[in-house]
Amino acid sequence: MFDDFLDKIKELLPAKKEERKQEISRVANAFFDRLLSWANTEGIDELSYDVRFKCERGLPRDKQKLLLLRDVNLSRSNIAELPKELFFLGLIMSLNVRDNKLQILPREISNLKNLRLLDASHNAISELPSEICYLPHLRTIKLGSNKLTFIPQDIGNLENLELLELNNNEIKIMPSDMFKAKRIKILSLWQNVITELSHYIGELEDLEELNIANNLIEKLPKSIRRLKKLVKLNIKNNKLSSLPKEIGELESLKELDAGNDLNLSNINQIMHLPSEIGTLQNLQNLSLYSNNLLDLPNEIGLLTNLIKLNLSNNKIESLPYYAENLINLKDLDLSANRLKKLPREITKLTLLRLDISDNPDLKLTSEQQEWLKTIQIVRSNDGVQMAEKT
């Protein structure tokens, strides 16, 4: 805090009270002068409302307002370096410096004891100061799209941390101590070079969203079963060949994406699903596109809350009879498989969208052909058809 800064210089001040007061005033003025001089040099505007981004941006020029500043937004300001003086404004709770040219965060960030949110995403930061791991009230860290190669071990000291975004970096390892931050609810590490999801992931029992897409992960640890509050799991574009049966214990899971984007070299090659997937009673969105799926377990029919199912670009030859039980399914993509027929009972589904294109050997019964007319959008080998409005 700025008061702490003044305390540090008191031992250098004159002994007489009046002289001390004058010297403190002089130092304080010099402090603010340097900060405002930096702001003017960098073209940082006076604090004002940015209509385009619907937020306040800039720094006030009034010294009193600076001292009371709680939210600092210097995003998109073309800044290459932050002045140390900024980090002695101890009331700051939110610091947004995203979309700049920063290569480091000053160690003086440790002075921001009240900081709740730090957004330094979209910069060129290659290393984090360890001091960031000792900010007691920090809840949100956004450092995506930088050049980070590792996560500080001590990040586990952030006992109030709830959101950690480190996507689109060059991180290889998730240190075991990071999982001591047990209040994390959202963990985003997509687009890194992580080869292993630590078994300590099970320690994050409050986790609600986990995004580890676009990495090099070959398997999921059994400890994933402990993530009882997990709602969203994105594991697409990795090197998975299977899903563990423990995935069936993610009782709160609503979205699971284990698909692949075909333009990437690291792809999942899942051939079979565990029967335990049928226990995911809250699952609404299941994406398994562009894997090597040969079939589906009968238990897929137990996913009665499923709304969207994408099985495109696999090697599936038939659907299980129990698919008719997917009573809430609205969007079904079966394109680019090896289907020869559909279950007779599939006509019981009230779909809004169906894609069965690129299944050259698929034959439909007359009843199924009539059923297609009830679906709003159908893609088939005959092209796209839209249901007539009644």
pLDDT at res. 246 = 98
Q: Is 52 exposed, middle or buried (0-12, 13-18, 19+ CB in 10 A)?
A: exposed
- Cβ atoms of 149 and 171 within 8 Å: the answer is yes
pLDDT at res. 48 = 82
DSSP state of 182: T
Long-range contacts of 346-351 (CB under 8 A, 24+ apart): 346/319, 346/371, 347/371, 348/324, 349/323, 349/324, 350/374, 351/375
Q: Is the pLDDT of residue 132 over 90?
A: yes
- Cβ atoms of 102 and 125 within 8 Å: the answer is yes
Q: Is the pLDDT of residue 9 over 50?
A: no
pLDDT at res. 23 = 42
pLDDT at res. 27 = 52
Q: In the predicted model, what is the mean pLDDT of residues 146-157?
A: 95
Number of other CB atoms surrounding residue 373 within 10 Å: 10
pLDDT at res. 28 = 66
Q: Is the pLDDT of residue 14 over 80?
A: no
Q: Is the pLDDT of residue 390 over 60?
A: no
Q: In the predicted model, what is the mean pLDDT of residues 299-312?
A: 97
- Phi-psi category of 272—alpha, beta or left, where left has phi over 0 and alpha has psi -120 to 50? beta
Question: What is the overall mean pLDDT for the chain?
Answer: 90
99: its two tokens: 């979309």
Q: Phi, psi at residue 93, to the nearest 5°?
A: -110, -25
Q: In the predicted model, what is the mean pLDDT of residues 111-122?
A: 97
Closest CA to 124 of 165, 61, 81, 187: 81
pLDDT confidence of 3, banded at 50, 70, 90? Answer: low
Cβ-based neighbours of 70, under 8 Å, separated by 6 or more: 91, 92, 93, 94, 114
pLDDT confidence of 262, banded at 50, 70, 90? Answer: confident
In order of their start, the domains of the chain are 1-186 (3.80.10.10), 237-249+256-390 (3.80.10.10)
Closest CA to 114 of 141, 132, 91: 91
Q: What is the DSSP track for 320-356?
A: -GGGGG-TT--EEE--SS--S---GGGGG---SEEE-
β-strands 308-310, 163-165: how paired? unpaired
pLDDT confidence of 138, banded at 50, 70, 90? Answer: very high
pLDDT confidence of 15, banded at 50, 70, 90? Answer: low
pLDDT at res. 63 = 84
- Phi-psi category of 75—alpha, beta or left, where left has phi over 0 and alpha has psi -120 to 50? beta
pLDDT at res. 7 = 56
pLDDT confidence of 384, banded at 50, 70, 90? Answer: low
pLDDT confidence of 343, banded at 50, 70, 90? Answer: very high
Q: Is the pLDDT of residue 272 over 70?
A: yes
The 10 Å CB-count burial string (b at 16+, else e) for 274-293 is bebbbbbeebbbbbbbbbeb
Rounded CA-CA distance 189/192 in Å is 7
| 3-class secondary-structure state, position 252 | coil
pLDDT confidence of 387, banded at 50, 70, 90? Answer: low
Q: What is the DSSP track for 81-98?
A: ---GGGGG-TT--EEE--
pLDDT confidence of 30, banded at 50, 70, 90? Answer: confident
- Cβ atoms of 205 and 230 within 8 Å: the answer is no
Q: In the predicted model, what is the mean pLDDT of residues 126-132?
A: 94
What is the pTM (predicted TM-score) of this model? 0.90
Q: pLDDT tens digit string along 351-366?
A: 999 999 999 999 999 9
Tell me how far the alpha carbon of residue 32 is from its chain's centroid. 38
Rounded CA-CA distance 203/107 in Å is 29
Radius of gyration of the chain (CA): 28
pLDDT at res. 306 = 98
pLDDT at res. 26 = 56
Q: How large a percentage of the chain has pLDDT more than 90?
A: 77
Rounded to a whole number, what is the distance in angstroms from the first to the last CA of the chain? 68
Q: pLDDT tens digit string along 90-109?
A: 899 999 999 999 999 999 99
pLDDT at res. 255 = 98
Q: pLDDT tens digit string along 189-226?
A: 999 999 999 999 999 999 999 999 999 999 999 999 99
